A and B are shown apart, each in its own frame.
Chain A
Amino acid sequence: MNARLGARLAPYWLALPGWLWLLVFFVIPIVVMLSLSTQTGDILTGFSQTWHWQNYVNGWNEFSTEFLRSLLYGLIATVLCIGIGFPVAYWIAFYGGNHKSSLLFLLLLPFFVSFVIRTQSWNFILADDGMVLSPLKNAGLVSPEFHILSTPVAVIGGLTYNFLPFMVLPIYVALERIEPALLEASSDLYASRAASLRRVVLPLSMPGVFAGVLLTFVPASSDFVNATILGGTNTTMIGNVIQTEYFTNLDYPVAAALSFILMGGLLIGVFAYARTLGTGDILDMAAAS
């Protein structure tokens, strides 16, 4: 009897380290932050819990532009990542031959360099008198005032560049799993290469695209490094705002409230996306078209 009970409880015991990990690194910090977000006071006199939910309202009213901008930048970067990453993953998966692993390694190679250094080097490349613009300006091809840094193009470009591998890898995995005989069967059944791509490869790669979107959109929307290094005053993202509130203004409650608004927004977005484009539904949509 005892033995059987033990056997039935075994999965829970085995999951214990996982639960502990979640508790220590996720639940406790989140509860602390949640409590912080409704406190008032300042860093000198100390913060006290006053259930001041107004922090959320104030945070949204003051920074709604940055919120919406972040979601927009994240969205554009994600779409660009699909546009660039899908062909790359497709090419490696179907034409990589015996060099698939080497090609994937080459793709990841730049990312062994620190995130900040990598982004900083884009700053050098795109600088107003940097290696791209100064020859163009000297040759009179672009006007001397023309600049890329501090524009949305630079920030979105940086986001796209930095999160590209998170799109390529899951799409690659999905494509790699497509049985070659399926493409032969499609071709046998009168499909042109374009039709095979649209009717077989695309639908079967959707789980990878789905994962890639999550892995790209969430971190890109909450990123602050790209806007800090490549952006200007008009490209501030919510990540920058939170950072400033926390480290410069030392307004911990508002920073915490902003974090929760961002988290809530992302969760709603992700769930809506998963509902409409869940893997199962993707396949059904492909079947109906």
Chain B
Amino acid sequence: MDTVHASLTTPRTPAGEHPPQDERLPAIELLGVEKLFHSHGSTTTAVGGVDLEIGEGEFFSLLGPSGCGKTTTLRMIGGFDQPTAGRILLYGQDVVGVPPNRRDVNMVFQSYALFPHLSVFENIAYGLRRKGVPSAERSRRVAQMLELVQLEAKSDQRPRELSGGQQQRVALARALVNRPRALLLDEPLAALDLKLRQAMQLELKRIQREVGITFVFVTHDQNEALTLSDRLAVMNAGQVEQAGRPREVYEHPQTRFVAGFIGTSNLLSRRVRAIDGTTAVLEAGPDERLVVPGADLAQARVGDVLDLTVRPEKISILRVPATDPSACVLRGTVTEVVYLGTATQYAVAVTASGDRTGSAGSSDLIVFRQNAADATDVAARGDDVWLSWRPEHSLALRPGPSAASGSDPAASPVQGESDGAQQR
């Protein structure tokens, strides 16, 4: 298991996608970090062996479901919890055991934790006062921050007199004014309503660009993570399943969990019928073709069951067989058509051809089709259709470090056999 996620957490992106900052010393490094909690005689593994590298100036997100250890990881970077094992380096320096007030990182708490007895101005000035910054400079820097978060008018008010979004901005300013080398944010937008959250996301991104400080951002909202981050790590059950750029994680999920957690994902489990070099041919019906390219398949053998995923927007939905002989092709019946405005979503029941083995029925694949100017309604409910996609969009999945935990958001509902999908 260790070897698996070691390779997962040092992602290799296609050359040329790295901005120059990746070459510098990482701002934050986690090496085999583990955190156990003991309470009432039982032990919880909140974080179980995490390796991460966060570059300077990066907007880095920790994404994962509730209880997966995001907050615990962040608190260990901030110094509020000490790891049970492993090392945490800030700019190459081991900081395990160093208390929060001596670490050059600041935290934005989920509850904001603004001091209720201090004005907005004094809340922001708090860190500068403790560091003994002279009063003239202090006032100037606080005023600058108030301007950055657009709260000049609220300077003398108490936190309880502010709205949620304003409190959130004070919390941000209170941390940023200290010019930390990294800012840790624990679901800072979770308490805001949707509209305000979207506005604050843009605001956060703008501020991060302006100040150029490394942001480590915890969220369980995949859209937030994908839109804001330079890079992100998907966590599950205390482990990092995959880390990389949003595009890379979205388009090349490496585990079932990641495929299911990020975006809408189609999941197929089929037996390997043949392996040809680095391409596996999977079982499929007559007129169908299912191939998976990929070097990771080296270990797969004929007869093994392989999990693969295809993103809904990569699939074409056609009334006639695809012309490209190398494409993956499946046949199915449309079970649902949902108009989404800019796109239409089709649910298509495909027959798993593993029927012989008695292991599979049929499952729905989701297909997105852009409603472009020339788009027509290709299919209606009940129509027989052909689905096709380029072989490189078939992604083989590894079970992932947490496969045993049974949390599997990717599992799509298995439906009864659909007669529309019978072969001719």
Contact = CB atoms under 8 A, between A and B. Distances in A.
A200 interface: yes
A179 B117 contact: no
B96 to A, nearest CB: 17
B92 interface: no
A215 interface: no
Interface in A248-289: 283, 286-287
Contacts of A121: none
Contacts of B102: 190
B130 A189 contact: yes
Contact of B106 (A181, A189, A200, A287): A189
Interface residues of A, number: 20
Interface string A195-210: 1000110011000000
A186 interface: yes
Q: Interface size class for chain B?
A: 20 to 34
Contacts of B118: 286-287
B91 interface: no
Contacts of B109: 181, 184-185
Interface string B109-139: 1010111111100100011001100000000
Given A181-B109, A184-B80, A184-B109, A190 B178 contact: yes
B117 A204 contact: yes
B191 to A, nearest CB: 13
A187 interface: yes
Interface in B253-269: none
Contact of A182 (B80, B99, B113, B174): B113
B126 A287 contact: no
A195 B119 CA distance: 18
B100 interface: yes
A186 B126 contact: yes
Contacts of B178: 189-190
A188 interface: yes
Contacts of A181: 109, 111, 113
Nearest to A182: B113
A191 interface: yes
B129 to A, nearest CB: 8
Nearest to B75: A184
Contacts of A287: 117-119, 122
Given A179-B111, A185-B109, A190 B101 contact: yes
Contacts of A199: 126
A203 B117 contact: yes
Contact of B101 (A179, A182, A188, A200): A188
A192 interface: yes
A6 B122 CA distance: 49
Contacts of B127: 189-190
A286 B117 contact: yes
B113 A187 contact: no
Given A190-B127, A190-B131, A191-B130, A185 B115 contact: yes
Contacts of B131: 190
Nearest to B156: A287
B31 to A, nearest CB: 23
A3 B101 CA distance: 62
Contacts of A200: 115, 117
Most buried by A among B111, B114, B122, B126: B126
B350 interface: no
Interface string A148-186: 000000000000000000000000000000010110111
A188 B103 CA distance: 8
B332 interface: no
A195 B130 contact: yes
A283 B117 contact: yes
A173 B117 CA distance: 17
B11 to A, nearest CB: 30
B130 A185 contact: no
Nearest to B106: A188
A188 B107 contact: yes
Contacts of B401: none
B130 A190 contact: yes
A135 B111 CA distance: 58
Given A189-B178, A190-B130, A184 B99 contact: no
Contacts of A203: 117
Nearest to A288: B122
A106 to B, nearest CB: 23
15 contacts: A179-B113, A181-B109, A182-B113, A182-B115, A185-B115, A188-B100, A188-B101, A188-B106, A188-B107, A190-B127, A190-B130, A191-B101, A191-B130, A283-B117, A287-B119
Interface of A: 179, 181-182, 184-192, 195, 199-200, 203-204, 283, 286-287
In the A-B complex, the 7 residue pairs with the closest CB atoms: A189-B127, A181-B113, A185-B113, A190-B130, A283-B117, A187-B100, A203-B117
Interface of B: 78, 80, 99-102, 106-107, 109, 111, 113-119, 122, 126-127, 130-131, 174-175, 178
Given A182-B115, A188-B175, A192-B101, 4 more contacts: A188-B106, A190-B127, A190-B130, A286-B118
